[in-house]
Each structure stands twice: as C-alpha cells, then as structure tokens.
Chain A
C-alpha cells in the first residue's frame, strides 16, 4: 500500500520536476548562449591587448635605406706638381654624391612603464662613402703644361681623396644625416604608437 502511494507521489513529483528541470535547462542554455555572443562581440570590438616591448619597437624600425642620407657635394681639389709639390698645377671642380647615416641596429629603445614613456635614442651619424662623378670634372689650370692626356685620371683620384677628406669631417653632413634619421624613426614609430598604444608618450632624441 505504502509502496503504491510512494510510487504515485514519486511519479507526480517526477513529472512536475522534469517539467521545471526542462524549463531551467532551456533558460540556462539561452543565458549561456547570450553570454557567449556578448563575449564574441566584446572580443571583436577590442583589438587584442598587446604589450609594448622593446622588441615590438625594434620591429617597427626595419633596417633600410631610410637610415642613410645622400647629399650632393660640389668641391674643388688642388692638384700639385708631381716633381715640385709646392707648385700648384691646377684646380679641379667635381660633383660627388655623399652617403652618411645612422646604423638602425644601434638604436636604443627604452620603455618606462611608470611614466608610460617610450624613449628612442638615435646614435651619431657616420660618414659612409663619396662617389665622384667623372663627367663632372672641370679644370682651372695654373700650369698649361699640366694639361696633358693623363690629367683626368690623376684629377679623379685627387677629387675622390678631397671628397673623402672634406665630407668625413663635415659636421653639416653628419648633423643633417642624424636629423634625417631622427625624423625617419619618428615617422616609423609615432603613428603606430598613437594608434596602437595611445597610453604611451614617444620621445625620439
């Protein structure tokens, strides 16, 4: 008797419970689905938070021609007499393309997390090369005897030496090469930092 009663009660309870359980499961499933959808949207909205590291900064600055600057150097070389080195044979004017630059591999990026400041130090520029244009040679002879068939070869050599000497010590060339490198580094990094890491301030020096 009690067994039958218990069986009927349990069937009734079971039916009600199953109904509620079903509703609960469906509601829970719907809630989970909503949460997942919201999560996906949130993920799509925000770019993945990236950490700014020295390596990220280094990647922004590729080693390229941007590190070098070409200048035009129109100079004049003096060519002395071979037998009498105190006597001037002629002046020779020339045009050379001079290259100076900064080695981007030597850049020193630093990140100060406390002040949220990125500092990139650009090293000094160095003289690389001067290329004299042979076709640009123009002579002013002091001794007519020096105007012989082999004069161009000797003059070219003198021009190359003069260009190397003058340009390697030219502060103007080196200073401008460094200034150009600073501008290039800033152009390579500032827009990216402003867009991807707006919380940081960039200093290029």
Chain B
C-alpha cells in the first residue's frame, strides 16, 4: 500500500512536471520583424542637397561677324534636393534560426527636385567670348538641368553607396540591439536583388 501510494504520487508529480514543460507556450521574446525593418528602411533614406552646375555650350547657335563666329557658353548654378534610398516594397526578411536573412534591392534615386528659388541673376555665369545669352537660353538651360538632374544623381556612385551603407548599418544596429536586449545572438546576412529581379 505504502509503495503503491508513493509510486502513484511520484507518477502524478512526473506527469504534472512534464505536462507543464512540454505544453509550454513558445517564448515570446521579441525577434527581428520585417515590418520594423521596412520602417527602418523608410527612415534610412539619404536626403542630400545637390548644388549643381549646368554647363551650357551651344556651337550651333552662333553670332556671325564677317568671318568670325561666336558660340554661346554659360554656366548656371542651381540647387536641388535628392532623396536616395531603397524601394521598401522590395525588401524582405527571413529568420532562420539565429540567421537574419535580409534581401535588399540596390539603393536608387527615389526623387529629386530642382529648387526653383535657388536661381537668381547671379546664378548665370557667361563667358566673355560667348554670343549674347537670351532669356530663352536661360529657360532652356534650366529645363535641361531639371531633365538631367536625375541622371546626374544616378551617376553619383559615391552617394548611392552611402545610401546603401546607411540602410545596412541601421538594419544591423536594430538586430544587434534587439539581440543584446533579449540575451540572444543573431547573424545578419544581406542578399541583393539583381537589377532584373527588381524590375
């Protein structure tokens, strides 16, 4: 009797113990979340002032004086704002054990705009040997500058690299801070979408 009751009690205790541990809810420690990473990417955009110079040289429109011809040559200084970053919609994250796999598109020019009020009469520098520059020339030069700005910024690989590094650094920092706060360890791996995949 004594042995039976002891055995029964032990079994009950064991059952209760294993049940309590086995059916434990999954730990709800905060883990890296894609939604938060997208929010970080949105804030990681690099806004930069783009003080630019449009160089205008037109050899076709010439002023003729006997055998001498003069082309038009002038520079226009203007300022623009460019926003560089990644397309958040193409960013994704997958958590595989302690590896955080982040897939990112390459940084690109998200938008850019010429600041119209940055133009003043002082913005135009005309070569002394140039044919006279007319208002139409100035308007055309400004339009060209506006059209070429996107290409100019896109060609600035230094700035695009900076924008890319900024995104990566902020994401890495988020993961490491979260790991530190929760006493876990993660390894971040970045994968990049090829241009044909981002289309």
B55 on interface, CB distance cutoff 8 Å: yes
B133 on interface, CB distance cutoff 8 Å: no
Return the CB mask of B13-29 against A: 1 if under 8 Å, else 0: 10011001100110111
Q: Are B1 and A19 in contact (CB under 8 A)?
A: yes
Centre residue among A70, A74, A97 by max chain B CB count within 10 A = A74
A26 on interface, CB distance cutoff 8 Å: yes
Instruction: Please report which residues of chain B, range 98-126, place their CB below 8 angstroms from some CB of chain A when the two chains form the complex.
Output: 115, 125
Of A27, A69, A93, A191, which one neighbours B46 at CB under 8 angstroms? A69
Q: Which residues of A contact B27 (CB under 8 A)?
A: 44-45
Q: Are A183 and B169 in contact (CB under 8 A)?
A: no
Q: B21: shortest Cβ distance to chain A, in Å? A: 6
Q: How large, as a class, is the contact surface on chain A?
A: 35 or more
Bound state CA distance, A186 and B95, in angstroms?
Answer: 24
Secondary structure dominating the interface of A: helix
Bound state CA distance, A59 and B16, in angstroms?
Answer: 43
Q: Are A66 and B177 in contact (CB under 8 A)?
A: no
Q: B126: shortest Cβ distance to chain A, in Å? A: 9
B136 on interface, CB distance cutoff 8 Å: no
A147 on interface, CB distance cutoff 8 Å: no
Bound state CA distance, A166 and B53, in angstroms?
Answer: 14
Q: Are B53 and A41 in contact (CB under 8 A)?
A: no
Of A47, A176, A183, which one neighbours B49 at CB under 8 angstroms? A176
Return the CB mask of B153-185 against A: 1 if under 8 Å, else 0: 000101100100110011001100110111100
Bound state CA distance, A188 and B178, in angstroms?
Answer: 11
Which residue of B has the minimal Cβ distance to A194? B36
Bound state CA distance, A93 and B17, in angstroms?
Answer: 79
Q: Are A91 and B21 in contact (CB under 8 A)?
A: no
Which residue of A has the minimal Cβ distance to B74? A140
Q: B88: shortest Cβ distance to chain A, in Å? A: 12
Bound state CA distance, A29 and B6, in angstroms?
Answer: 11
Q: Which residues of B contact A76 (CB under 8 A)?
A: 53, 75, 77, 125
Known: A37-B21, A91-B75. A70 touches B48 (CB 8 A): yes
Bound state CA distance, A142 and B13, in angstroms?
Answer: 99
Q: Are B16 and A72 in contact (CB under 8 A)?
A: no
B62 on interface, CB distance cutoff 8 Å: no
Of B24, B30, B127, which one neighbours A45 at CB under 8 angstroms? B24
Q: Are B39 and A140 in contact (CB under 8 A)?
A: no
Q: Which residues of A contact B159 (CB under 8 A)?
A: 70, 72
Closest 6 CB pairs of A and B: A26-B9, A30-B13, A37-B20, A191-B36, A187-B43, A74-B53
**Interchain residue pairs with CB less than 8 A apart (29):** A19-B2, A19-B5, A22-B5, A30-B13, A34-B17, A37-B16, A41-B21, A44-B27, A45-B25, A47-B181, A59-B177, A65-B165, A65-B166, A71-B51, A72-B50, A74-B51, A74-B53, A76-B53, A140-B125, A140-B127, A176-B49, A184-B170, A186-B43, A187-B39, A187-B174, A191-B37, A191-B174, A195-B30, A196-B30
